[in-house]
Amino acid sequence: MTLPPLAPLLADQLMQIPGVLGVVLGGSHATGTATPDSDIDLSLAYDTDFDLAALDSLCKRLDDDHAAEASPIGGWGPWVDGGAWLTVQGRRVDFIYRDLNRVAQSVNDALAGRVALYAQPGHPHGIHAHHYAAELASCVILGDHSGRIAELQKQVRTYPPALSLALRNHYGWQKWFWLEVGQKGLKKGDLHYAGGCAYQATMSFIQELCAIHETWLLNEKGASLIAARLPGAPERFAERLAEVLSPLDLAGLKALLGEARLS
C-alpha cells in the first residue's frame, strides 16, 4: 500500500488543532483498494471537544476554492458525526470526526460480539456498533498524541471470533426471509417495498460471508466487490448482482420527487 503524499502533510496540520488527539487515514487508501479518483479520508480523533473554529479556518485555507466548511460535531448524524469536504491540490479530501471514547466502546462491542444496527443518513443498511472498530482495524495512523489509538488498534488487528459467530447467527437466516417477503410485495406490484427487501437480502448475505471469513466490512460502499473476492461467493458475484438489480434510474427518481408540492 502506498500512502497518498498529501495525507501526512494534511495530518500534520490537523494535529496542531487544539483538542485533536490523532489523525488516521481510512477508506480505500488504507485498505489498498483506492483508484486514482478515490477520496482521501482522514479521521480526526477527539475525546471531549476540539477547536472547531480553528478547523474551519484550516479548511478554508486548504480548500482550492477557499469555500470548505467544517460541520458542527454531530452535524452529519449520530454515527458519521461530522466533518468537511474539501478539494486540495485538485484531490478530493474528506475530514471526518471520531469521538475516541465511542471508538473505544465500539472496540469493546466488537470483542464481545455485540450486534446492534443503527440508522444513519447516507448508509441505507445502517451503521453497526462495531463500525468504528472495523475502521480502526484497517486504518493507517498518521498522528497519535497519547498512543491511545495505537493501543485500541492492537485489540482489533485480529478479527474477534465472538463477532464472527454473532454476525453469522444474526444474518445467516435473514437473506431468505427478506427474499420471501420481497416476493410477496413483488406479486402485489409493490416495487418500492420489493426493492428494499432485495437490498436487505443482499446485505445479509454479504454480512454473513464476510463474518465467516473474518473480513472487516467498513460499510455498504463496495461491499459486493469485497464479498466477490471471498471463497464461497457466487461466480462473478458483483457483476451478476448488478444485472439482477438493474435498471436503477436515480435521475428519473430525482425528477419524480422534484415534482412534489410539499408546502
User: How many Å apart are CA 214 and CA 130, to the nearest integer?
Assistant: 13
Tell me the pLDDT tens digit for each residue of 82-121.
Answer: 999 999 999 999 999 999 999 999 999 999 999 999 999 9
Q: What angle do CA 194, 163, 200 make, to 5 degrees?
A: 5
Topology of the domain covering 6-155: Beta Polymerase; domain 2 (3.30.460)
**What single-letter DSSP state applies at residue 110?**
H
pLDDT class for 260, splitting at 50, 70, 90? Answer: confident
Judge whether 153 and 137 are in contact, CB under 8 Å: yes
Higher pLDDT, 246 or 24: 24
pLDDT class for 1, splitting at 50, 70, 90? Answer: low
Nearest to 133 by CA among 104, 165, 163, 173: 104
**Is residue 196 over pLDDT 90?**
yes
Residues of the chain with CATH 3.30.460.10: 6-155
Beta bridge partners of 141: 24
What pLDDT shows up at residue 27? 87
Tell me the pLDDT tens digit for each residue of 169-184.
Answer: 999 999 999 999 999 9
243-250 contacts: CB < 8 A, separation 24 or more? 245/198, 245/202
Cα end-to-end span (Å), the chain: 51
What pLDDT shows up at residue 248? 82
Strand 40-46 and strand 22-26: the pairing is: antiparallel
Segment 213-242 mean pLDDT? 94
